[in-house]
Amino acid sequence: MRKLKITEMGRMNVEEFRASKKMPLIVVLDDVRSMYNVGSVFRTADAFRVEAIYLCGITAQPPHPEIHKTALGAEDTVDWKHFPTALDAVAYLKEKGYIIYSIEQCEESTMLNELDLSTLNAQSAGYAIILGNEVKGVHQEVVDASDDCIEIPQFGTKHSLNVSTTAGTVIWEFAKQLMIH
């Protein structure tokens, strides 16, 4: 099979991206330390036309050369906003009518393979997912303010996946249900 050339991939330019319909999903980063992870989430958010990224607490903001290294320009296409804390972002999103999921391993989390958005309230403005710090995860009080937790089932020795891997996997599941029909 022949690999496609970049010109054959039919990608949008920045203006087309800005004008395009987005997936109703907002990605909230709660004290994410690594700019590699921030950049990578921007790149994934561009690929799946995520509505916006909310950068909270210590999470670095563009423009920054370390974010650019993995975002490769996606930090200029995807909308973003900064909030002092993820709790502030959650309050803002609740007022706007978003359904909010912390991505965490909790008592009675919803497993990612069981996520079914078709049964949810059609009145919602959209969805938000919250990804936490590389070591500490999402703050407990942010989990408490969320509507539910989504957990990626894991079968090995380590306690968690990398933040950018987690973001990619979860955003992909939302994209399958909200973008790809």
List residues binding a copy of itself (CB under 8 A).
Answer: 1-4, 6, 9, 11-14, 16-17, 20, 36, 40, 43-49, 70, 72-74, 77, 104-109, 112-113, 137-138, 140, 143-144, 146, 148-149, 152-159, 161-162, 164-169, 172, 176, 179-180
Considering beta carbons, is residue 19 or 123 the nearer one to a copy of itself?
Answer: 19
Query: Which residue's CB is nearer to a copy of itself, number 61 or number 169?
Result: 169
For Cα atoms 63, 170, 1, give the angle at the middle one, nearest 5 degrees.
90
Contact between 60 and 68 (Cβ < 8 Å)? no
- In sequence order, what are the residues at sequence separation of 6 or more whose Cβ sits closer than 8 angstroms to the Cβ of residue 49? 17, 20, 21, 22, 23, 179
Report the distance separating Cα 75 and Cα 46, nearest Å: 8
Residue pair 127/24 in contact by the 8 Å Cβ criterion: yes
Cβ at position 65, least distance to a copy of itself in Å: 16
Nearer to a copy of itself, 123 or 157 (CB): 157
- Least separation in angstroms between CB 142 and a copy of itself: 10
User: How far, in Å, CA of 92 to CA of 128, rounded?
Assistant: 11
The β-bridge partners of 150 are 103, 110
Q: Which is nearer to a copy of itself, 59 or 109 (CB)?
A: 109
Nearest distance in Å: CB 95, a copy of itself: 22
- Least distance to a copy of itself, CB of residue 74, Å: 6
